[in-house]
Amino acid sequence: MTQADTPPSLAEALHQDALAVNAELDRLIPLPDGPERVVHEAMRYSSLDGGKRLRPFLAMRSAALFGVAEDAALRVGCAVEMVHCYSLIHDDLPCMDDDDMRRGRPTCHRQFGEATALLAGDALLTRAFEVLADPATHPDPAVRCELVAALAHASGADGMVGGQMIDLRASQFAQDMPAITRLQQMKTGRLIGFSCEAGAILGKAPSQARLALRNYAHDLGLAFQIADDLLDVEGDAAEVGKRVGKDEDAGKATFVSLLGVERARAQADMLAEQASRHLDMFDERAVLLQAVARFVVERRS
C-alpha cells in the first residue's frame, strides 16, 4: 500500500464523517420562521453537534465498500441518525427512563418541555423516511424503497421499539442471557444492522457481501451493547455524558450483571474480533470498519 492509499486513522475518519453528518443534518433540518419553529429548534438541538455518529459512520463506510457516491451514503447516514436521535428523545422522557442529561447537555424535554420533545421525536422519525424516499438519495426508486422498508423494519415494533417495550417490562420476564441478548439485538442491534445493510443496499451488493456485513453488524451490535453495560458500571457520568449506574438502580439485568465484569469484557473483545473477521473478504477496504469494532469496545463514552 503506497502512502496515498493509506487509509486515514479511525479517529480522523470518525471526525471527518461526523463533521459531514453535522453539515448535512443542518441542511436537512431547516429552521423556518413560523410559530412551529420551536419543534424544528428541538429537532436540531437533539440531532446536531452530538454523539459519536457511529451509525452514519457504519452506513458511509459500508457504502464505500461498494463504491457508492458519498453524498448518497451521507444522506442515508443522516436518516439513520435521525431515527437514533428520535429514539433517545423519547427514551429520555419522564414516562420512559426520565433522564435529565444526554450527551453532556439537558435532555430535549428538560430544555424544551415534554410536549415539544415528544413532537420533535415524532418529526425526526418522519423526516428520516422523507429523506430516504427523496430522489436525491439514490436515482433508483427500488433502492430507495428497500431503504425505507429496511429502516422501518429495524426501528418499528419488531425492532427497536419492540426492544424498548421489552426493556421497560424486563423485570416481568426471565432475564437470562438469551432474553437479554434478544432484547438488546432488537433495541440497539437492529439499527446498527440497518446502518451496515444500507451500504449494501445502496451499492446493490452481491448476497455474499451482504451476508458478511450482516454478520459483522450482528457481532458489532452485541459488542457495542456489552461495552455500554460496562460503561454504565465503570464509567464516569461526566465523561460518558449521561447518568451512569442506572441499570443497577433499576434492577435491570445486563450483560455485566449476568456475566460479571471480567467475562463481559472478554466477551465484548471476542465479539469485536469476530466482527472484524467477517469482513476479511473485503481486504484492506474494510480496515476502518474493522478498526471501529475495536473502538466500540474500547471507548470511554
Buried b (16+ CB within 10 A) or exposed e, 56-82: bbbbbbbbbbbebeeebbbbbbbbbbb
Residues 6+ apart with CB under 8 A from 21: 53, 56, 74, 77, 78, 81
Residues 6+ apart with CB under 8 A from 116: 38, 39, 42, 108, 109
CA angle 98, 28, 190 (to 5 degrees): 55
Site for a copy of itself in 185-214 (CB under 8 A): 186
* Number of residues in contact with a copy of itself under rule CB under 8 A: 59
Among 45-53, 65-73, 119-127, 277-285, which window interacts with a copy of itself (CB under 8 A)? 119-127
| Residue with Cβ nearer a copy of itself (141 or 206) | 141
Contact track, a copy of itself, 85-104, x by CB under 8 A = -x---x--x-xx--------
Distance CA 239, CA 274 (A): 28
Distance CA 233, CA 130 (A): 38
Distance CA 167, CA 90 (A): 14
Q: For a copy of itself, which residue of 62, 107, 116, 254 counts as binding (CB under 8 A)? A: 116
Instruction: Answer yes or no whether residue 168 interacts with a copy of itself by CB under 8 A.
Output: yes
Instruction: Answer yes or no whether residue 269 interacts with a copy of itself by CB under 8 A.
Output: no
Q: For a copy of itself, which residue of 8, 16, 49, 141 counts as binding (CB under 8 A)? A: 141
Q: Which three cell numbers stand for residue 108?
A: 430535549
Q: For a copy of itself, which residue of 2, 3, 172, 207 counts as binding (CB under 8 A)? A: 172
Among 61-69, 163-171, 199-207, 289-297, which window interacts with a copy of itself (CB under 8 A)? 163-171
The helix (run of H) or strand (run of E) holding residue 106 is: strand 105-106
Among 122-130, 189-197, 258-266, 267-275, which window interacts with a copy of itself (CB under 8 A)? 122-130
Distance CA 198, CA 155 (A): 14
| Residue with Cβ nearer a copy of itself (114 or 236) | 114
Least separation in angstroms between CB 40 and a copy of itself: 6
Instruction: Answer yes or no whether residue 265 interacts with a copy of itself by CB under 8 A.
Output: no
Say which DSSP state 156 is in: S
Contact 166, 157 (CB under 8 A): no
Site for a copy of itself in 15-34 (CB under 8 A): 32, 34
| Residue with Cβ nearer a copy of itself (170 or 231) | 170
Among 1-9, 68-76, 128-136, 233-241, which window interacts with a copy of itself (CB under 8 A)? 128-136
Place of cell 438541538: 45
Site for a copy of itself in 47-86 (CB under 8 A): 86
Distance CA 105, CA 111 (A): 9
How many other β-carbons are positioned within 10 Å of the β-carbon of residue 172? 8
Least separation in angstroms between CB 114 and a copy of itself: 4
Residues contributing to the site for a copy of itself (CB under 8 A): 32, 34-36, 38-40, 43, 86, 90, 93, 95-96, 113-116, 118-119, 121-123, 125-127, 129-130, 132-135, 140-142, 144-146, 148-149, 152-153, 155-158, 161-166, 168-170, 172-173, 179, 182, 186
